[in-house]
């Protein structure tokens, strides 16, 4: 069939417009068009995944602390699209074309963001609204889900000299102690993030290096490198506002992780509707939610896919919304404007 003015087969272009509201002929093709077209021309298959036993777990908590030392920030190595989880688990589907397309648009939006001017001694401020869920045993012996408010304000030291200060209804904490930790991919400062590669493959390689070390073959982890790489990138994007080039590379790196899917409708903890990129693991779907117009990251949530002690299918068990960001000169201070 002859390609239309977008450079794509008319059927493929129409499918992209259907899956991604707002896409027009003027938007097509995107940077990833060859890979997207290749995916669209073939049926994307997913290996059957065994449903996780719906036994209650004692607590489901989303770590909201933005900390050099707490934030799981992995950075990463190129992964071949083998359809095989790098930890040796059963085959996992390649990323869905619509998810790759959305992440490309999000990466473009991130790349176009202005580069902030930050000084050593300053703090990256983030205000979040969200909750975690725990299961508690009732007098009758059944398990009941109970939500805990995890809303907080966070001040992340630009150069790491003051650690990360978190203020919530539970009080104020600093982690790590000022000067108490060296910046690494698992505990980054803004200055460290500035040094990371902006090439998606090199960045992804760094993330998988850590994911395989702690969640790969030979470890006790049941998460697996692919899921851990997805979670690590999400933690980093949510907890620390990286330089535009690095943020863009992280989104493009995520588009290379097997099993990434597109979710047309998702709502964050602040009640804002958006579109999401997600990954399913162990009967749960972890979603990164974006504004449908600006493609700005709104937040993240995890929902259960089958009815269990946690609730009906589709129930969020953890959810966090980013409701404020900026730069301050000291902790306890909110950004001007």
pLDDT value of position 146: 94
Can you point out the beta strands (E) in the chain? 59-60, 123-137, 143-149, 152-157, 164-168, 171-175, 260-267, 273-281, 284-290, 297-304, 316-328
Long-range contacts of 173-179 (CB under 8 A, 24+ apart): 173/65, 175/65, 175/67, 175/69, 175/70, 176/67, 176/68, 176/69
pLDDT value of position 311: 93
Condensed to tens digits (0 to 9), the pLDDT of residues 80-120 reads 333 334 444 446 689 999 999 999 999 999 999 998 899 99
Q: Which residues of the chain have pLDDT under 70?
A: 1-92, 177-186, 337
Condensed to tens digits (0 to 9), the pLDDT of residues 260-286 reads 999 999 999 999 999 999 999 999 999
User: Which pair of tokens denotes residue 200?
Assistant: 């998606």
pLDDT value of position 223: 92
pLDDT value of position 138: 87
Domain ranges for the chain: 1-43, 44-328
pLDDT value of position 312: 95
Peptide bond into 129 cis (omega under 30): no
C-alpha 87/C-alpha 27 separation (Å) is 37
Indicate the pTM of the whole model.
0.74
pLDDT value of position 240: 82
Condensed to tens digits (0 to 9), the pLDDT of residues 159-170 reads 888 889 999 999
pLDDT value of position 192: 83
């Amino acid at each position: 069939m002859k390609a239309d003015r977008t450079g794509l087969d008319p059927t493929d272009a129409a499918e992209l417009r259907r899956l991604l509201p707002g896409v027009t002929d003027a938007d097509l093709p995107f940077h990833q068009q060859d890979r997207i077209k290749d995916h669209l021309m073939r049926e994307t298959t997913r290996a059957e995944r065994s449903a996780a036993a719906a036994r209650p777990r004692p607590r489901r908590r989303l770590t909201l602390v933005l900390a050099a030392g707490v934030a799981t920030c992995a950075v990463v190595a190129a992964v071949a699209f083998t359809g095989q989880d790098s930890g040796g688990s059963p085959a996992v589907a390649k990323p869905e074309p619509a998810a790759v397309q959305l992440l490309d648009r999000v990466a473009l939006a991130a790349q176009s963001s202005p580069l902030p001017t930050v000084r050593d001694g300053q703090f990256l401020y983030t205000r979040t609204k969200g909750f975690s869920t725990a299961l508690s045993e009732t007098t009758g012996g059944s398990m009941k889900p109970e939500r805990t408010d995890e809303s907080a304000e966070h001040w992340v030291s630009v150069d790491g000299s003051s650690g990360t200060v978190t203020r919530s209804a539970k009080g104020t904490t600093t982690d790590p102690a000022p000067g108490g930790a060296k910046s690494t991919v698992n505990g980054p400062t803004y200055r460290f993030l500035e040094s990371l590669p902006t090439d998606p493959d090199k960045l992804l390689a760094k993330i998988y290096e850590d994911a395989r070390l702690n969640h790969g073959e030979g470890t006790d982890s049941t998460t697996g490198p692919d899921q851990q790489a997805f979670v690590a990138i999400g933690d980093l994007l949510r907890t620390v506002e990286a330089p535009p080039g690095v943020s863009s590379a992280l989104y493009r790196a995520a588009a290379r992780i097997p099993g990434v899917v597109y979710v047309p409708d998702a709502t964050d903890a602040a009640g804002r509707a958006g579109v999401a990129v997600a990954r399913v693991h162990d009967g749960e779907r972890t979603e990164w939610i974006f504004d449908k117009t600006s493609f700005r990251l709104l937040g993240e949530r995890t929902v259960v896919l089958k009815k269990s002690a946690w609730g009906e299918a589709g129930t969020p068990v953890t959810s966090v919304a980013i409701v404020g960001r900026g730069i301050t000169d000291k902790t306890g201070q909110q950004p001007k404007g």
